[in-house]
Amino acid sequence: MTLLLQISDPHFGTEQPPVAAALLRLANTLRPDLVVMSGDITQRARRAQFSAARAFVKSFGATPFVVVPGNHDIPLYNLFARVAHPYANFRRVFGHDLEPVFESAELLVIGVNTTRAHRHQDGEVSEQQVERVVRRLEHAAARQLRVVVTHQPLVAARANDIRNLLHGREHAVERWSQAGVDLILGGHIHLPYVTPLHVAYKDLPRQMWAVQAGTSLSSRVRGNVPNSVNVIDYDASTMGARRAVVARWDFNQASASFEPNMQHELDLDSESLKTPSTMFL
């Protein structure tokens, strides 16, 4: 049994201390094997905001993290820094590797940096990045949960989010499906949902799911969607098909705690590709 906690878009600089405290309590209860932070760690990529993010991460103790940058983690107003060293403050806290990889007996998690200094919000994945993921997947074990982490989404659940989709996504989805990816985790739009990519994209050879997360800590919530995180429970101990349960946990202001909202069980090895187009978490 392996537990993965997805925390996205905390936007340190706009974080809410009661929500952060509640999330730490949830993590202490769940004791995840890995925490994934899928971008927009800060609001304006400032040193103090990254320092706050570092203090938050240290509160998890020895729990490993996979952290990829988001568009907000590149300076916006400091044009010199944006061009000359856009990831300086990110690297000061999280290290020089912008595309980290985590591997255990049951997990293979591959980070992809989809931000670009020349783009304001849009993300992009290059041919070189796509093939780097494919090469890494060639060595994956059959029972591992194979996960790619981007910041921008690969599929939209609502029409007004189409403009936020990742550039180069069609080729990436096709190649990663061929290589055996199970889940693609993302953030950016502060809207949590699960979408079967094998329905959104035609002629994929296997099932593959997009798992989008809301904003975990920021006051910049979207509409009526509260602060939330995703908890992915994966069990490869049985001899049957691999399954993952993706659960959304929402912050409840009345109880000042994160509480389970809904969950979906994904049959990762099913031969049937007939599934709903979108399942909101």
User: Using one digit for the tens of pLDDT, what is the confidence trace for 208-239?
Assistant: 999 999 999 999 999 899 999 999 999 887 66
Q: Which helix (H) or strand (E) holds 75?
A: none
Task: Select from 231, 185, 209 the least CA-distant residue to 5.
Answer: 231
pLDDT reading at 1 higher than 90 = no
CA-CA distances (angstroms) from residue 6 to 36, 109, 175, 222, 254?
5, 12, 24, 18, 23
| CATH code matching the domain that covers 2-280, chosen among 3.20.20.105, 3.60.21.10, 1.10.132.20, 2.40.10.10 | 3.60.21.10
pLDDT reading at 167 higher than 60 = yes
pTM comes to: 0.95
d(CA 50, CA 44): 9
Average pLDDT score, the chain = 94
User: Using one digit for the tens of pLDDT, what is the confidence trace for 61-113?
Assistant: 999 999 999 999 999 888 878 888 999 999 999 999 999 999 999 999 999 99
Instruction: Report the pLDDT value the prediction gives residue 275, as an integer from 0 to 100.
Output: 59
Q: Provide the phi-psi class of 168: left if phi over 0, else alpha when psi is between -120 and 50, else beta.
A: left
Q: What percent of the chain has pLDDT over 70?
A: 95
